[in-house]
Amino acid sequence: MPKKILFRADGNAQIGLGHVMRCLALAEMLGDAYERRFAIVQPAPEVAKRIEEKGVTVVPLPGYELNDFLAVAAPDDVTVLDGYAFDEAYQRAVRAKVGKLVYIDDLVTGHQVADVLINHTGAITEYDYDAEAYTQFLLGPHYALLRSEFFADFAAPPTKGPIFVSLGGADPQNVSIKVLDALRIAFHQIGQSWRVRLVIGPFHPDRASIEAYQDKLKHLTILSNLTAGQMVTEVQKCRLAITACSTIAYEVCATNRPLLAIQTADNQERLAHFLESEQLAHVAPAHTDVDQLAYRIEVSLLYPDSIAHTLQNQRYYFDRKTPERFRALFDRLCSPTA
């Protein structure tokens, strides 16, 4: 009997690609021993391509209504939902149709009815949730939804590498420009500049402003549409990474590199708190102004010892055993006796 996994998430310029990328990371960890399908509403060509490149079949949906999804779900599907629209009523209807239901969450709101709930944010416990008695919780970085390339062996960070910057697949507030402004100020204050390698996603709202910044900041390289392998290479060779408090921050931690993480959205508050409280990174809170951000960059560049302890903490939380944990879980969920 085939082991069938059906993913359901959306990604576009308005909501970014976070939900899609988490599901793809999980699909990749599970591998082709499973029959994997991905239901998504009217995916952009570049999004559909990303899904298909992982060996996952794209199932385009005509709309966001529950019945649009139920029409493609089967009773023997282990179904994975990732999205803020999938509330209790939606989950109950899906669970009544499919074999088992898995929900990927980062909000910790509402009543949960999934068989398994995944939230890879640290410092979350099952007691933070309102859920059914049968719900199993997979919480924290040991269940980090990262692409497989980020589970490579640890290596010492370079001392002369560039600065890596990535604010997510969409960056709707164009925080990338704010970071570039802060870098320019920091370089001026220090009296020295470093190479900057900025990764922007396919839905960036103002690529023209980013490209124009190359006239202001020497040694700025703009990258886009990188594969996971290319992203790993960029992170591995950096002396400092500046990212949003999102999955990309976890990818940097898993690669074991100095990190300055910026909270760019309300739903990143818990992860920002975890990164700071467990000393995995230096964290810039929401609404940090450009001058404050520049100061944090200066400290990270001039005093690397101030961030050295974070590397040891990163190695504790990202232990390289996540893929086998997920495969064991889904083997059980796909079992006829589950």
How many structural domains compose the chain?
2
The verdict on 12 and 129 lying in the same domain is yes
pLDDT value, residue 313? 95
pLDDT value, residue 12? 87
The verdict on 262 and 273 lying in the same domain is yes
Vertex 228 angle, CA 227 and 232, to 5°: 120
pLDDT value, residue 46? 92
Measuring CA to CA, how many Å separate 264 from each of 179, 247, 296?
11, 12, 16
Instruction: Name the DSSP class of 291.
Output: H
The verdict on 286 and 198 lying in the same domain is yes
The verdict on 105 and 25 lying in the same domain is yes
Catalytic site includes residue 19? yes
178: CATH: 3.40.50.2000
Q: Using the CB atoms, write b or e for 28-41: b if 16+ within 10 Å.
A: bbbeeebebbbbbb
pLDDT value, residue 249? 97
Mean pLDDT of the chain: 94
pLDDT value, residue 225? 86
The verdict on 127 and 235 lying in the same domain is no
pLDDT digits (tens, 9 = 90+) for 282-297: 999 989 999 999 999 9
* From 19, 120, 204, 282, the catalytic residue: 19
pLDDT value, residue 167? 94
pLDDT value, residue 21? 94
Q: What value does the CA radius of gyration of the chain take, rounded to a whole number of Å?
A: 20
37 is in an annotated binding site: no
The verdict on 309 and 325 lying in the same domain is no
3-state SS assignment for residue 111: strand
Q: What range defines the domain where residue 112 resides?
A: 4-146+320-334
Cα separation, 338 vs 336, in Å, equals 6
Measuring CA to CA, how many Å separate 122 from each of 32, 84, 139, 268, 277?
29, 19, 7, 12, 10
pLDDT value, residue 277? 96
pLDDT value, residue 1? 61
139: CATH: 3.40.50.11190
Cα separation, 251 vs 141, in Å, equals 11
Cβ(11)–Cβ(47) below 8 Å: yes
The verdict on 123 and 231 lying in the same domain is no
Number of helices and strands in the chain (H, E): 12, 15
Question: What is the token pair recorded at 181?
Answer: 């402004």
The verdict on 137 and 78 lying in the same domain is yes
Contacts of residues 227-232 at CB distance under 8 Å and 24 or more positions apart, as own/partner, are 228/147, 228/148, 228/149, 228/150, 229/149, 231/147, 231/149, 231/199, 232/149, 232/150, 232/152
pLDDT value, residue 218? 87
The verdict on 45 and 167 lying in the same domain is no
| Side chain identity, residue 124 | I
The verdict on 243 and 304 lying in the same domain is yes
Cα separation, 144 vs 121, in Å, equals 8
pLDDT value, residue 15? 86
Q: How many C-beta atoms lie closer than 10 Å to residue 302's C-beta?
A: 12
Q: Mind spelling out the 3-state secondary structure of 223-243?
A: EECCCHHHHHHHHHCCCEEEE
Question: What is the token pair recorded at 23?
Answer: 């599901």
Regions of the chain with pLDDT less than 50:
none
The verdict on 131 and 194 lying in the same domain is no
Helix axes 290-302, 305-317, angle to 10 degrees: 90
Tokens 């969920």 sit on residue: 333
The verdict on 176 and 310 lying in the same domain is yes
Q: Number of C-alpha atoms within 13 angstroms, CB side, residue 24?
A: 25
pLDDT digits (tens, 9 = 90+) for 137-164: 999 999 999 998 998 888 887 878 999 9
Per the confidence metrics, is the pTM higher than 0.85?
A: yes
239 is in an annotated binding site: no
Vertex 227 angle, CA 224 and 229, to 5°: 130
